[in-house]
Chain A
Amino acid sequence: MVTRTSLTTPLGDEVLSLHAGDQVLLSGIVYTARDEAHLMMKESGIPFDPVGAAIYHCGPVIQDARILAAGPTTSARLNALTGFLLDRGVRALIGKGGMGAEVARALIGRGVYLSCTGGCAVLAASKMSLKGVYFEELGMAEAIWIIELDSLPLVVGIDSHGNDLFADIALGANKQFHRMFT
């Protein structure tokens, strides 16, 4: 039987007790942000309280103020644009595919990266309600949507102790590749 830890935003030191591979159910407010929103926040400020916040790498499909589809986007695109958010107190990054070594290092002692099943956009949307929007001028995919989660199932991909599940798998893949094609 798999145990799932329930977490609610804003997050605090409870994230420090999570380990890579743990399954969690996340509730509370999260903020979507992709490439353009990260640039905008870096240049003109974070429009929400970043302390304890969770950032969701996602560009949803919204119709008539309803979230129809909202799965994660590829987090690695945001590797170089994430440090300032963690410096300001963000505790969780949610996305797919993992992030770079610089982000894994920046998470140590501070927060976690949570992996959401890529492409599962209606499953995710069924656990969400829309609460508002910042930077709507960036367009549907790139705006910051304020979303309330109700027990979204996630996996801890990178924990605050320096463990990175994606990096471990990538290392194994690399070894296997060189065994097969020397």
Chain B
Amino acid sequence: MVLPEDDPLFRALSAATCRAFREAVTTLPQDVVEALRSAAMREPSALAKNELKNILDNIAIAEQRALPLCQDTGVPVVYLTVPPHVPYTETLIYAVGEGVQRATREIPLRPNVVSPLKRENSGDNTGPGMPIVHVRPGSCLSVTVLPKGAGAENMSRLAMLLPTESEKIPRFVAETMLIAGGRPCPPVILGVGIGGTFDGCAALAKEALLLPIDTMDPFEQKLCDAVNALGIGPMGLGGKTTALAVKVRMAACHTASLPVAVNVQCWAARHCTVEVPW
């Protein structure tokens, strides 16, 4: 039997995973930085402007010193794209896990992963079912990481609306932010899943957080405007910018169901994709 460590595919994917985490936790995607910059220019409130300035200063220092920009380096959420010529085996999952352990030691990441009831920390950000790895077919082998902090994740919600209640979706999205207030580190990005099943809808909401935020369709813009009208502002201290963007992903669903999920993402919307030449 070939030990995974001796398998070149294992080594390449593990290294790519570690690299994706390093890039993700130290550097924000450009569309997010741009959205924060333009929010700082638009904010009339001095307190709100000051919070956004701190955020932009922090982003610059983190990038310059190659340090994690937030101490909550999250739990590891990973999306793998697997091409036809790469066999989808457990080796791929092990490789991602090893990449997470290495990233935790080397970058470093804060060890956040614990057993759910005993609260015992594994020390390396892995455990049963963690990292969470979503696999989909694609044209090349790539690993996308989305380190997800708990402050915002804890504010996420899901509703099983009635099929006739689609007009309640804006209310549910705005209500999620109303309940959250300043706790999830606004300005936030909201990933909204509509349709699918109970579990699939939540997955859609998270995947919506991988979409670029420099454009919104009219429905997304309407949801975003409703959230921003609340005036919660950066860090909940008041202001015009509560959400930088709302992004929606949809799937078909049962004729008797209308699942809606809102996954709350703090301003530190960290994600990164690394292709593995294979």
Q: 8 Å CB contacts to A: which residues of B33-70?
A: 46-47, 50-51, 54-55, 57-58, 61-62, 65, 67-70
Q: Please tell me the number of chain A residues within 8 Å of chain B, measured between CB atoms.
A: 47
A139 on interface, CB distance cutoff 8 Å: yes
On chain A, the residues within 8 Å of B235 by CB distance are: 96-97, 115, 117-118
Q: 8 Å CB contacts to A: which residues of B224-238?
A: 226, 229-238
B171 on interface, CB distance cutoff 8 Å: yes
Known: A117-B54, A122-B61, A176-B231. A169 touches B237 (CB 8 A): yes
On chain B, the residues within 8 Å of A181 by CB distance are: 170-171, 174-175
Q: 8 Å CB contacts to B: which residues of A131-157?
A: 139-141, 153, 155, 157
Assembly CA distance A97 to B174 (angstroms): 18
On chain B, the residues within 8 Å of A16 by CB distance are: none
On chain A, the residues within 8 Å of B109 by CB distance are: 61
A119 on interface, CB distance cutoff 8 Å: yes
- Which of the candidate stretches A42-50, A70-78, A81-89 sits at the interface with the other chain? A70-78
Among A2, A23, A181, the most chain B Cβ lie within 10 Å of the Cβ of A181
The answer to whether B229 touches A176 (Cβ under 8 A) is yes
- Which of the candidate stretches B82-90, B177-185, B193-201 sits at the interface with the other chain? B177-185
Kindly count the residue-residue contacts between A and B in the assembled complex, taking CB atoms under 8 Å apart: 161
Known: A70-B71, A118-B185. A141 touches B58 (CB 8 A): no
The answer to whether B182 touches A96 (Cβ under 8 A) is yes
The answer to whether B174 touches A166 (Cβ under 8 A) is no
Q: Please tell me the number of chain B residues within 8 Å of chain A, measured between CB atoms.
A: 54
Assembly CA distance A125 to B69 (angstroms): 10
Interface SS, B side = loop
A126 on interface, CB distance cutoff 8 Å: yes
Assembly CA distance A97 to B268 (angstroms): 15
Assembly CA distance A121 to B54 (angstroms): 10
B121 on interface, CB distance cutoff 8 Å: yes
A21 on interface, CB distance cutoff 8 Å: yes
B73 on interface, CB distance cutoff 8 Å: yes
Assembly CA distance A21 to B235 (angstroms): 13
**Residue in contact with B71 in the complex, picked from A60, A115, A165, A172, CB distance below 8 Å:** A60
Closest beta carbon of chain A to B111's beta carbon, Å: 6
The answer to whether A2 touches B170 (Cβ under 8 A) is no
Closest beta carbon of chain B to A68's beta carbon, Å: 5
Assembly CA distance A52 to B232 (angstroms): 31
Assembly CA distance A157 to B57 (angstroms): 21
Closest beta carbon of chain A to B129's beta carbon, Å: 20
On chain B, the residues within 8 Å of A172 by CB distance are: 230-231, 238
The answer to whether B47 touches A21 (Cβ under 8 A) is yes
Taking Cβ atoms with an 8 Å cutoff, the residues of B that contact A are 46-47, 50-51, 54-55, 57-58, 61-62, 65, 67-73, 108-112, 119, 121, 123, 149-151, 154, 170-171, 174-175, 178, 181-185, 226, 229-238, 266-268
Q: 9 interchain pairs (CB within 8 A)?
A: A68-B68, A71-B72, A115-B235, A119-B72, A121-B62, A122-B67, A122-B69, A170-B232, A177-B230
- A139-B123, A170-B236 are known; give 13 further A-B pairs, CB within 8 A: A23-B50, A69-B69, A69-B71, A73-B72, A96-B235, A98-B182, A115-B235, A118-B235, A120-B57, A126-B61, A155-B237, A166-B237, A169-B181
